[in-house]
Amino acid sequence: MKDLQAVLNDEYINSFLKENNVSERYALDHLYTLERVSESRKKCESCKGLEECDQSSQGMRLALSYDGGFVEEVEYCPYAIKIVERRRLKNAYVYCDIADEMLDLRLESINYKEDQKKLYLLLAAILYKKSDKGLYICGDLGVGKTYLCSALANSLVLNKEKVAFVKVSNFFNEMKGFFNTDPSMIDVNINRLKKASYLFFDDIGSEAVSEFVRDDILFRILDYRLENKLITIFTSNLNKEELLKHYQYDRKEKANLMNAKRLMERIDILTDNYVLSGTDLRRER
């Protein structure tokens, strides 16, 4: 068994004893408890994630409290805490298709590039209710569209707003899948998106065009949101003229300009246009 001084070299144990004014005699009498806690926490020192966890219960480590005597407790490690916080935030969304690492972003605290500043201020105006209109944000791959919008979406959820964040191609693939599994879920999800206080359509124009996508889902959602003056934010690699061409064709390769124009009219009224320029930030990481 280690001597007391060896255990006191543990920063956590040393700080705990000082904060609680624990005598050396008492610490020595309970050396086994201190050793157990110290050894448990040392397993976390070089850990880089839960997949490397060496604890007997993944993401859990021993801790101490003091109420006239030592109380050995179990707590989440920082990695497990982050997962719990992400899960709690994700569950607070009306609909959420944000990558896990993006759930840590907050608009108030993100680092943004100089060429993102104007867009950041426009998004901040939405967060602080200085603007009641959405945005259509277009730009090349990797310039930060999803990054900034994810940060805004998370901040809105933390403000108790009803938010839906949709990866467009994923969403429509999911809706098509419900045809054969549970058709009632199509209307359930349409209603979720229609009525969300804030709706983010991420990477619109990336999905395969069909009458079902354009007319039965997108148009219904956007028409309702226009009538009810709900904020909608789009990101895309396409500008609005390119998006019009994208929606002009159905799956049979037949031109359908009128329905495409009806859809784009709603996007135009719902949003102000913003072009985000810059380099592909993902290549810089």
* Residue 136: band (very low, low, confident or very high) from pLDDT cuts 50, 70, 90: very high
User: What pLDDT, on the 0 to 100 scale, is given for residue 249?
Assistant: 76
- Asked if 274 and 149 count as a contact pair (C-beta separation under 8 A), the reply is no
* Residue 5: band (very low, low, confident or very high) from pLDDT cuts 50, 70, 90: confident
User: Which CB contacts under 8 angstroms, 24+ apart, belong to 245-253?
Assistant: 246/205, 246/209, 247/209, 247/214, 249/209, 250/209, 250/210, 250/211, 250/214, 251/208, 251/209, 251/210, 251/211
Determine what percent of the chain is predicted with pLDDT higher than 90: 78
User: What pLDDT, on the 0 to 100 scale, is given for residue 1?
Assistant: 45
- Asked if 77 and 59 count as a contact pair (C-beta separation under 8 A), the reply is yes
Distance CA 169, CA 25 (A): 65
Q: Is the pLDDT confidence value at 79 over 50?
A: yes
Q: Is the pLDDT confidence value at 280 over 80?
A: no
User: What pLDDT, on the 0 to 100 scale, is given for residue 242?
Assistant: 96
The dotted CATH code for 93-283 is 3.40.50.300
Q: Is the pLDDT confidence value at 161 over 70?
A: yes
For the stretch 209-222, what's the b/e string if a residue is b when 16 or more beta carbons lie within 10 angstroms of its beta carbon? Answer: bbebbbbebbbebb
* Residue 278: band (very low, low, confident or very high) from pLDDT cuts 50, 70, 90: confident
Domain boundaries, the chain: 4-80, 93-283
Q: What is the 3-state secondary structure (H, E, C) of 139-208?
A: CCCCCCHHHHHHHHHHHHHHCCCCEEEEEHHHHHHHHHHHHHHCCHHHHHHHHHHHHCCEEEEECCCCCC
User: What pLDDT, on the 0 to 100 scale, is given for residue 149?
Assistant: 98
Query: How large is the average pLDDT for residues 249-267?
Result: 84
Query: How large is the average pLDDT for residues 191-203?
Result: 97
More confident residue, 155 or 24: 155
User: What pLDDT, on the 0 to 100 scale, is given for residue 120?
Assistant: 97
* Residue 223: band (very low, low, confident or very high) from pLDDT cuts 50, 70, 90: very high
Which of 4-8, 99-103, 157-161, 169-173 has the weakest average pLDDT? 4-8
Q: Is the pLDDT confidence value at 282 over 80?
A: no
User: What pLDDT, on the 0 to 100 scale, is given for residue 205?
Assistant: 95
User: What pLDDT, on the 0 to 100 scale, is given for residue 3?
Assistant: 72
* Residue 160: band (very low, low, confident or very high) from pLDDT cuts 50, 70, 90: very high
Helix-helix angle 219-227:257-270, to 10 degrees: 40
- Asked if 249 and 209 count as a contact pair (C-beta separation under 8 A), the reply is yes
User: Mind listing the pLDDT tens digit for each residue in 174-188?
Assistant: 999 998 899 999 999
Of the candidates 108, 167, 116, 165, the residue with the CA atom closest to the CA atom of residue 142: 116
Query: How large is the average pLDDT for residues 123-128?
Result: 98
- Asked if 134 and 272 count as a contact pair (C-beta separation under 8 A), the reply is yes
User: What pLDDT, on the 0 to 100 scale, is given for residue 251?
Assistant: 63
User: Mind listing the pLDDT tens digit for each residue in 98-119?
Assistant: 999 999 999 999 999 999 999 9
